[in-house]
Amino acid sequence: MSEYKLKVCGMKDPGNILEVASLNPAYMGFIFYPPSKRFARELDQAVLQQLPPEIKKTGVFVNASQQEIEDKIKAFRLDAVQLHGAETPDICKALRTGGIEIIKAFGIDEHFDFHILEGYEDCTDYFLFDTKTKGHGGSGKAFDWGLLRKNVSGKKYFLSGGIDLPDIREIQQLGDPSLYALDLNSRFETEPGLKDPEKLRLFFKHINNNAANAATEDI
């Protein structure tokens, strides 16, 4: 089994960004959505440029205009964008032309029609499955992962929504070859936008320990 990539989302504090970067997540997410408690209002461009190039700087948007997204890509030298609203395949395609990685997020509940994904197959790099909420993300709530059995797309996806330390074993047992990355956010916070590096360190340490029955007493 290959290792899960890890994404830490909702970063905004300069010191905290650098602390979390020392754990080497594959992705770090910055939220450019003003209503979010994690809105990166005064994100420090200089701090982002200190991040190792292996960490993909990911801008998270909800129904932003193409111009706004492109401005942020340029200003913060983003590697990826994560689109959390009702963005169309056309906007995904237009943004991707610029060479940026496109992660299209979908809110999942029992009513989600997985056929919607068909329109996004050719214009995105990854899907992200999050819990359906009015707030678009960062709810701290998990959806029923059993619903993913209805996903017939072979595209790699990020699993998101309320992931926490006690979920490690269940995630290891999902055994889905399309599951590419895990998105961590509010369950690893001491306050909105501020991550607990020690709690993240524990998750990082145990999640890719492939022996599903490995000792996890320190969790």
Ligand X SMILES: O=C(O)c1ccccc1NCC(=O)[C@H](O)[C@H](O)COP(=O)(O)O
Question: Least CB distance from residue 215 to ligand X, whole Å?
Answer: 26
The H or E element spanning position 91 is: helix 89-96
Bridge partners for 184 per DSSP: 8
Question: Least CB distance from residue 25 to ligand X, whole Å?
Answer: 12
CB within 8 Å of 185: residues ≥ 6 apart: 8, 9, 10, 29, 38, 137, 138, 140, 160, 163
Nearer to ligand X, 24 or 210 (CB): 24
Give the CB-side neighbour count of residue 203, counting CA atoms within 13 A. 28
Nearer to ligand X, 146 or 152 (CB): 146
> Applying CB under 6 A, which residues contact ligand X?
9-10, 29, 31, 33, 36-38, 60, 62, 84, 130, 135-140, 160-163, 183, 185-187
CB burial of 15-51 (b: ≥16 within 10 Å; e: otherwise) equals ebbebbbebebbbbbbbbbeebebbbeebeeebbeeb
Question: Least CB distance from residue 189 to ligand X, whole Å?
Answer: 8
Nearer to ligand X, 57 or 84 (CB): 84
Nearer to ligand X, 135 or 197 (CB): 135
Question: Least CB distance from residue 100 to ligand X, whole Å?
Answer: 16
